[in-house]
Amino acid sequence: MTVSVREVAALAKVSVGTVSNVMNRPEKVSPDTVERVQAAIRTLGFVRNDAARQLRAGRSRSIGLVVLDVGNPFFTDLARGAENRAAEAGLTVLLGNSDDDEERENAYLDLFEEQRVHGVLISPIGDAADRLARLRERGTPTVLLDRQSDNHNFSSVSVDDPAGGYTAARHLLEIGRRRLAFVGGPVSLQQVTDRLAGARLAVAEQPGATLEVIETAALSVLEGRAAGEALLARAATARPDAIFAANDLLAMGVLQALNMNGQVLVPGDIALIGYDDIAFASAAVVPLSSVRQPSELIGHTAVDLLLREATEGADAEHEQIVFQPELIVRASTGG
């Protein structure tokens, strides 16, 4: 049997409006009344009906967040930043994991729209522009994460991935490596193509340097491990002398394969750099050099933009915020 607001008001000897104020605007109620109402709520086991409140308010107090891979600490750090900023505005975050699957991505977008979320933050798999435009036209503000909105139709928060790829490859060249390999994929992912493009630019500027591309099926530890084992199967002279992995999970997998082999030393034989600078990078058996993305700040900033769009409505001006990546040098490249 569900407990009603009226029963809480009767037990606490206050009006229904005062109960609502205690739950939504406690600063407007005297402390002892707040305590008396909260005691009545605990005694009766009252749970507020957010669906009814949503119907009245037209919007839920939640933000829908769709990430590419919830197993990647980059996205959980990003989610933490979004959650902290949302909490400051009295909002919560509902996390959905598309797992690089467009059907799952669309299912979450449908669910968040039906739930009338306050807005949607999404790191899209492919070109979701049409689907996201419909979402916004029907009243759900949307901000792109980790992907710049190049036609300025959406607000977005991302990192300059071409610059990040250039920085990673330039660092390997500056420590004297010349036979570089880029390990990453699928190349259909914008983050991968942008990082590779930056690396190609750096290599093109260095006489005598080469860049081999080893495409992977995903940006995962297992795919990195497989790429590392494939390199070990080559003759030593056919291996690269440096590897730029498109993210830290791949780099961790490559490091695992090389380290377990024991014959090939990092960085002595092969220097290794990743991307994201997740917590595991500094804790790796050979501390991993990486290109840092401000993951929590990306999440925090995206909620800022979303709140502004939710307030300003359909004619809100869209803003594309692009952070610059930062080179973090550790033992895996001789730091």
Residues near ligand RIB, by CB under 6 A: 68-69, 72, 74, 146, 191, 219, 247, 275-276
Smallest distance from ligand RIB to CB 98, Å? 10
Taking the CA atoms of residue 123, residue 125, residue 127 and residue 128 in that order, the dihedral angle to the nearest 10 degrees is: -60
Query: In angstroms, rounded to a whole number, what is the distance separating the alpha carbons of residues 282 and 265?
Result: 18
- CB nearer ligand RIB, residue 247 or residue 289: 247
> Beta 290-292 vs 326-328: how paired, if at all?
antiparallel
- CB nearer ligand RIB, residue 69 or residue 223: 69
Query: In angstroms, rounded to a whole number, what is the distance separating the alpha carbons of residues 264 and 260?
Result: 9
- CB nearer ligand RIB, residue 69 or residue 83: 69
Smallest distance from ligand RIB to CB 72, Å? 5
- CB nearer ligand RIB, residue 21 or residue 191: 191
* Cβ-based neighbours of 322, under 8 Å, separated by 6 or more: 148, 158, 159, 160
Smallest distance from ligand RIB to CB 216, Å? 11
Structural tokens at position 168: 């990673």
Smallest distance from ligand RIB to CB 226, Å? 17
Smallest distance from ligand RIB to CB 69, Å? 5
Query: In angstroms, rounded to a whole number, what is the distance separating the alpha carbons of residues 219 and 249?
Result: 7
Smallest distance from ligand RIB to CB 184, Å? 9
Structural tokens at position 183: 């390990």
- CB nearer ligand RIB, residue 12 or residue 67: 67
Q: Is there a contact between 34 and 20 (Cβ–Cβ < 8 Å)?
A: no
Coil, helix or strand at residue 273? strand
Looking up tokens 């039906």 gives: 114
- CB nearer ligand RIB, residue 54 or residue 76: 76
Query: In angstroms, rounded to a whole number, what is the distance separating the alpha carbons of residues 90 and 92?
Result: 7
- CB nearer ligand RIB, residue 147 or residue 330: 147
The H-or-E segment that residue 308 falls in is helix 295-312
Query: In angstroms, rounded to a whole number, what is the distance separating the alpha carbons of residues 324 and 160?
Result: 6
Instruction: Count Cα neighbours of 97 within 13 Å in the Cβ-side half-sphere.
Output: 8
DSSP 81-100: HHHHHHHHTT-EEEEEE-TT
Smallest distance from ligand RIB to CB 32, Å? 50
The residue number whose beta carbon is nearest to ligand RIB equals 247
Smallest distance from ligand RIB to CB 287, Å? 18
Q: Inter-axis angle of helices 5-12 and 16-24, to 10 degrees?
A: 100
- CB nearer ligand RIB, residue 46 or residue 74: 74
